[in-house]
Amino acid sequence: MRHDEGNLILGTKKFQEKTKRWKVTLLQKKFIHDNFVDKKKLDLKKKITLNRNCPNCKKSKNFLLFSKDFFKYKKCEKCSLVYVSPVLKENEIIKMYKILHILILGENPIYKLNISLSS
Ligand SMILES: [Zn+2]
Tens digits of pLDDT across the chain (119 residues): 455 566 777 888 888 777 777 877 888 889 899 999 999 999 999 999 999 999 999 999 999 999 999 999 999 999 999 999 999 999 999 998 888 888 877 765 444 444 555 54
Residue 58 lies in a domain: no
What interhelical angle do 90-105 and 21-36 show, nearest 10?
130
For 97, the domain range is 12-51+86-105
Query: Ligand 1 centroid to 4 CA: how many Å?
Result: 24
Peptide bond connecting 109 to the previous residue in cis, omega within 30 degrees of 0? no
88: left (phi over 0), alpha (psi -120 to 50) or beta: beta
How many domains is the chain partitioned into structurally?
1
Residue 81 lies in a domain: no
Residue 118 lies in a domain: no
Residue 64 lies in a domain: no
Per the CB < 8 A criterion, the answer to whether 48 and 92 are in contact is yes
Residue 112 lies in a domain: no
Residue 19 lies in a domain: yes
Neighbours of ion ligand 1 (CB under 5 A): 54, 56-57, 76, 78-79, 81
Query: Ligand 1 centroid to 74 CA: how many Å?
Result: 10
Q: How far is CA 107 from CA 34, 83, 111, in A?
A: 21, 35, 7
CA 23 – CA 101 distance, rounded (Å): 11
Residue 39 lies in a domain: yes
Residue 98 lies in a domain: yes
